[in-house]
Each structure stands twice: as structure tokens, then as C-alpha cells.
A and B are shown apart, each in its own frame.
Chain A
Amino acid sequence: GAVVSQHPSRVICKSGTSVKIECRSLDFQATTMFWYRQFPKKSLMLMATSNEGSKATYEQGVEKDKFLINHASLTLSTLTVTSAHPEDSSFYICSARFRGSLYNEQFFGPGTRLTVL
């Protein structure tokens, strides 16, 4: 149980285009999903917390107009990188937390490698 999927696993796009990444909890309801960014050989940087049915909460320094997050259902959150540039190239990982969880245990997706040319 507690499987989280991400799609696509890898995407290459041209500078200036927008890219959408999907995060799905396959076998549980996730009222809260998280989006992280990971640079090579670095730890995870929390970008935003996404709650179903409400606006995402962004971490300091993360541009909300550039990284659009939508959490339309209890099993799906999307991250759209708008007008992507080479500096947005990174590994993006989502995670999901059980509805009703008290411990903030998160289940992670396999990640999406974004390369902007």
C-alpha cells in the first residue's frame, strides 16, 4: 500500500515552454501533498505544501507564479513549471500524506527529471 506515482518520469523541453507534472496517490486519500526540488548531490528542498481544495502554501523564495500547484482531488496534485528556463532543470519529487495522519509520515513518488534546453 501507500504508493505514490509521478508522471512523467523524465521530460525535456525547450526554454519558454510550460511543463506539467502529475502526482497521484494510488491507494489512499491524501489531503496533503508536498512538492520538493532536489539538486544534484543535494538534499530535498520543500517548494510548497498542497492541500486538497485550497491554495498551496509556498516556501520562502519559491515563485508561486512560476510553479503553479493544483490539488483538485484527494488523489491528484499537479505542478506546472511555467515558462521554463535552463535554471529550472532539476529533479522534482512529490510526496503525499495520509488523510488523518498525526505523524507527518510522507510517501514519496519516484520523481520527475526536468531538463530545459
Chain B
Amino acid sequence: KAGVTQTPRYLIKTRGQQVTLSCSPISGHRSVSWYQQTPGQGLQFLFEYFSETQRNKGNFPGRFSGRQFSNSRSEMNVSTLELGDSALYLCASSLRGDRTGELFFGEGSRLTVL
């Protein structure tokens, strides 16, 4: 069974640009969560999607957005990039429907903003 796939793995952008990251969950998993990981802040929750609906979101500015498609694949977008957005963005899928459960993480997309 294929794991969680994130693309691209690495990318470099400049301030003011926007970026779109993609996540394909494990087959059968309908929940997708996104996290931002930085050395100083650890793993920060961005948002969670289930069946194309955002069920929860973290404390990030509106520049961070996401969506989920009918096939459970998810994308997140960051607009007007800032230097502080440089981080590893991790996607995690889960079987959970009505409660929290084990998260399966992808390898992450490492974003560098110059």
C-alpha cells in the first residue's frame, strides 16, 4: 500500500510569491491534516480536511489556505510568501471519521523563501 505522497519535495520561492503544495493520502484515508514544522516552533497544526470539508484550522493567517478534492487528495496554498514561511510542510492522512486517530505522515515539502 503506497504511503502519503507529497509534492514537490523541495522548492525555493521569493518573498511575495505564492506556492501550492500537494498531498495524496493513503488509499482509503479520507482525513488529511497539514502541519508546519520549523526548528523553533515544532509541529504547528494548519488545518484538517475530511470529505472535502475543512473541519478544523489552526492559528495561521488567511494567507494559508487549503482544499480537498473528491478523491481525498489535498492541496495547500500560501500566498504572499514571507521569509518566516520557510519550513517543512507535512501532510498526514488518517482513517479517522468521528475521532482522532493515528496519523500517517508524508516526507514533507521543504519550502525556502528568499
Answer yes or no: do A and B interact: no
Residues of B near any A CB (own CB < 8 A): none
Residues of A near any B CB (own CB < 8 A): none
